[in-house]
């Protein structure tokens, strides 16, 4: 992995750059003493259980339904999409549910699940997230019709807080298999916990992912430089960061990045707004705005050297894709859009593991450079509280009507 900032230098004030750089030791120290920094030293004692339960699920089920949202969903979904072939669906299928309250989706999902043998992994650190709780409850109803309570025990896996919460209590009472999301790791930093490693064990080599992740954690210096560059660009009025990939199956990885940076930085009226585009598709829509619109944006491009080969009539698709990427970077940079380029030879669980922990470090450093706590999400908690109050009123009134 290499980071090319050649197209950014002219936008950066060197005095400011040096001022931020001088904060390095202070910021490293803040992260060292942070109580939510468990992701720096992931506890991987769950691996044997992950493989054991995965093998059982593969034997007794045709698919795994993963119920979770936000930090309990995006990491596994991102890597599942990235490492599952576009058309040859030869990997064990995973259905990600619980990411909306669409009644049409729920109805169709439940009807579908009536027709297949499946296992269910519910993932929620708090155990109280509305979408997750309702979806879990609905799917369990389908299971109750199909399976005995003994069989349900073999098919329900609960991933939640190690001690507290309703899910932990239920899993203990019912005897379900459980995994932990450690208390010192927040949802969006939980990629190397069972919340993601268990679903990912069905579709990629998680040991390689772990190896790469550990490599990425050694890239503190580069992660800090990336955070400093972003901070300097913000000072120049570049309030939006556009993450750009040239491969459709990166869609959810970019969504994962948006959560990581959006939730880590966007507080106290501060932060860079993360957005994402998949090229070349989005060049034909938002491309106009990036090139020629309000100059509030900078971009982080992902550039991958190798790809599956497809040459038709002497035209190599990957070469042309790279040619377009280089041309776009040149055009955008000339249009006053600073472009950072992150280059990698290939996309493997190892390189993505490395990239992911690099971004964890950057998001943390970036939060500190904005003088905010990168590990909480008070904004999410505000709306969750409002929803919870209104939901309780709704439940109370529907119970009254039933009576």
Asked if 373 contacts 333 with a C-beta cutoff of 8 angstroms, the reply is: no
- In 161-176, which positions are buried (b, 16+ CB within 10 angstroms) versus exposed (e)? beeebebbebbeeeeb
Task: Please give the order of strands across the beta sheet that includes 118-124.
Answer: 94-97, 63-67, 118-124, 156-160, 177-180
The smaller minimum CB distance to ligand PA5, of residues 129 and 201, is found at 129
SS3 state of residue 299: strand
Distance between CA atoms of residues 251 and 248, nearest Å? 6
Nearer to ligand PA5, 121 or 129 (CB): 129
Which of 105, 175, 110 shows the shortest CA–CA distance to 141? 110
Cis before 280 (ω within 30): yes
Question: In the complex, which residues of this chain contact ligand PA5 (CB under 6 A)?
Answer: 69-72, 124-126, 129, 132, 186-188, 263, 377, 380
Residues marked as catalytic: 263, 284, 384
DSSP calls for 25-49 = HHHHHHHHT-TT-GGGS---TTHHH
User: Least separation, in Å, of the C-beta of 376 and ligand PA5?
Assistant: 9
| Minimum CB distance to ligand PA5, residue 185 (Å) | 10
CB 197 within 8 A of CB 46: yes
Calpha distance 83→254 (Å, rounded): 14
Distance of closest approach, residue 343 Cβ to ligand PA5, in angstroms: 28
CB of 30 to ligand PA5, least distance (A): 20
In angstroms, give the least distance from the CB of 260 to ligand PA5.
Answer: 9
Q: Which is nearer to ligand PA5, 39 or 301 (CB)?
A: 39
Q: If you count them, how many residues does the chain have?
A: 403
């Amino acid at each position: 992995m290499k980071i090319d900032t050649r197209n950014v230098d002219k936008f950066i004030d060197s005095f400011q750059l040096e001022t931020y750089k001088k904060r390095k030791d202070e910021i490293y120290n803040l992260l060292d003493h942070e109580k939510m920094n468990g992701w720096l030293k992931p506890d991987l004692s769950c691996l044997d259980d992950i493989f054991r339960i995965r093998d059982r699920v593969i034997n007794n089920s045709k698919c795994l339904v993963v119920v979770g949202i936000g930090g309990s969903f995006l990491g596994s979904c991102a890597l599942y999409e990235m490492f599952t072939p576009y058309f040859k669906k030869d990997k064990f299928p995973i259905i990600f549910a619980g990411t909306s309250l669409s009644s049409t989706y729920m109805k169709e999902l439940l009807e579908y699940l009536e027709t297949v043998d499946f296992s269910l992994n519910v993932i929620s650190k708090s155990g109280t997230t509305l979408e997750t709780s309702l979806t879990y409850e609905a799917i369990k109803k389908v299971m109750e019709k199909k399976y005995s309570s003994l069989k349900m025990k073999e098919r329900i896996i609960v991933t939640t807080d190690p001690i507290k919460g309703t899910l932990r209590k239920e899993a203990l009472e019912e005897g379900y298999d459980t995994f932990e999301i450690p208390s010192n790791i927040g949802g969006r930093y939980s990629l190397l916990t069972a919340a993601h490693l268990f679903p990912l064990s069905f579709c990629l080599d998680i040991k390689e992912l772990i190896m790469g992740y550990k490599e990425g954690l050694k890239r503190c210096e580069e992660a800090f430089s990336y955070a400093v560059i972003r901070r300097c660009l913000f000072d120049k009025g570049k309030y939006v960061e556009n993450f750009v990939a040239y491969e459709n199956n990166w869609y959810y990885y970019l969504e994962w990045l948006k959560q990581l940076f959006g939730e880590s930085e966007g507080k106290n009226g501060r932060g860079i707004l993360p957005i994402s585009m998949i090229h070349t598709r989005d060049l034909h829509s938002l491309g106009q705005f990036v090139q020629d619109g309000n100059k509030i944006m900078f971009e982080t491009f992902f550039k991958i050297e190798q790809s599956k080969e497809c040459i038709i009539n002497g035209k190599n698709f990957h070469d042309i894709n790279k040619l377009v990427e280089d041309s776009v970077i040149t055009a955008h940079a000339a249009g006053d859009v600073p472009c950072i380029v992150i280059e990698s030879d290939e996309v493997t669980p190892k390189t993505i593991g490395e990239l992911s922990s690099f971004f964890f470090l950057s998001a943390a450093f970036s939060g500190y450079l904005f003088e905010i706590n990168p590990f909480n999400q008070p904004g999410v908690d505000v709306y969750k509280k409002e929803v919870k109050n209104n939901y309780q009123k709704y439940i109370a009134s529907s119970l009254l009507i039933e009576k």
